[in-house]
Amino acid sequence: MANAAWAEIREKFQAALALSRIELHKNPEKEPYKCKYGARVLLEEVKALLGPAPEDEDERPQADDGLGAGDHALGLPAEVVEVEGPIAQGAVRLAVIEFYLGMNHIDTEELSAGEEHLVKCLRLLRKYRLSQDCVSLYILAQNNLGILWSEREEIETAQAYLESSEALYNQYMKEIGSPPLDPTEHFLPEEEKLTEQERSKRFEKVYTHNLYYLAQVYQHMEMFEKAAHYCHSTLKRQLEHNAYHPIEWAINAATLSQFYINKLCFMEARHCLSAANVIFGQTGKIPATDDRQHRRT
């Protein structure tokens, strides 16, 4: 790809991200999604500039490829296939755009279109999902599909996506372990790419969100022991990575304490309540971290 064309693609992608991050209340009252629609136009332009998906990367998943038939045939465990050559690189870049288009449509409440883009993202990445270039994006796409299906009250489908994300994270950390690329890095020049520390921080945040969503799914399925375990893991990781909102964290810890009380585990319940009290006391005293439990990168 010519340098001028690649520079145009990078510029449009960064502009789309900037528009996507503008809060809804900063849009005109009668056009709450104005910035989102502007971002969508830019993403579609980038997609057109990248060209069509390579044929061998855009095939529909087969029924025996993973957890079940259909679009959520997720295929774990994975094999490491590195992103090498222009065809693979083109497929991955296109997958990044499909992901952001999916999130854009979800943000504007066009859920079916959002799902379609996220599924396309997974199809493009399937072969490379355990690679350092793609694992974070693949987990992000699965997490958001899990949330989408959970909101439709299709809990088993949500569970399949989220458990697949958890398994992929664990396999990646066991077999590779080095911090993977953040999705945005596929459109950054080499000198602007993230540090290893920042990559690790972002990847661990993605996994923490995965555990949080799994806790909710297990709660919905009345698997209360498992839900409590995942809730505890989420709270612990948020503290370790200093990535939490004090009020939200305190409420979740207090809720977990009620589970322990019902199980007559009074020491654990007291510990949760004490921690909730301490963290709640931080409200307004420390800068808020950008880690609300919503569907986002």
Specify whether the CB–CB gap between 15 and 44 falls below 8 A: no
Q: Which of 48-57, 98-107, 132-141, 227-236 has the lowest mean pLDDT?
A: 48-57
CA distance linking residue 227 with residue 221, whole number of Å: 9
Paired tokens of 297 = 């990168």
pLDDT beyond 80 at 71: no
Residues 1-194, CATH architecture: Alpha Horseshoe (1.25)
CA distance linking residue 129 with residue 177, whole number of Å: 14
Per-residue pLDDT tens for 121-165? 999 999 999 999 999 999 999 999 999 999 999 999 999 999 999
Per-residue pLDDT tens for 204-239? 999 999 999 999 999 999 999 999 999 999 999 999
CA distance linking residue 74 with residue 141, whole number of Å: 12
SS3 string, 149-182, reads: HHHCCCHHHHHHHHHHHHHHHHHHHHHCCCCCCC
**Span 277-294, average pLDDT:** 69
DSSP one-letter string for 192-252: GPPPHHHHHHHHHHHHHHHHHHHHHHHHHTT-HHHHHHHHHHHHHHHHHTT---HHHHHHH
**What's the pLDDT score for residue 135?**
97
**What's the pLDDT score for residue 58?**
42
Question: How far does CA 182 lie from the centroid of its chain?
Answer: 11
**Span 271-295, average pLDDT:** 73
Paired tokens of 144 = 């958001």
Question: How far does CA 47 lie from the centroid of its chain?
Answer: 21
Q: Which of 62-76, 218-232, 258-272 has the lowest mean pLDDT?
A: 62-76
Query: Phi and psi for 66 in degrees, rounded to 5?
Result: -165, -130
**What's the pLDDT score for residue 56?**
53
Q: What is the DSSP letter of 294?
A: S
pTM for the model: 0.86
**What's the pLDDT score for residue 295?**
47
**What's the pLDDT score for residue 72?**
44
How many other CB atoms are there within 10 angstroms of residue 234's CB atom?
25
Q: What's at 31, amino acid-wise?
A: E
Question: How far does CA 247 lie from the centroid of its chain?
Answer: 23
CA distance linking residue 192 with residue 194, whole number of Å: 7
Q: Percent of the chain, pLDDT > 70?
A: 88
Q: Which of 102, 88, 100, 103 is nearest to 58 (CA)?
A: 88
Per-residue pLDDT tens for 266-277? 899 998 999 999
pLDDT beyond 90 at 254: yes
Structural domain spans, the chain:
1-194, 195-297
The owner of tokens 């993973």 is: 66
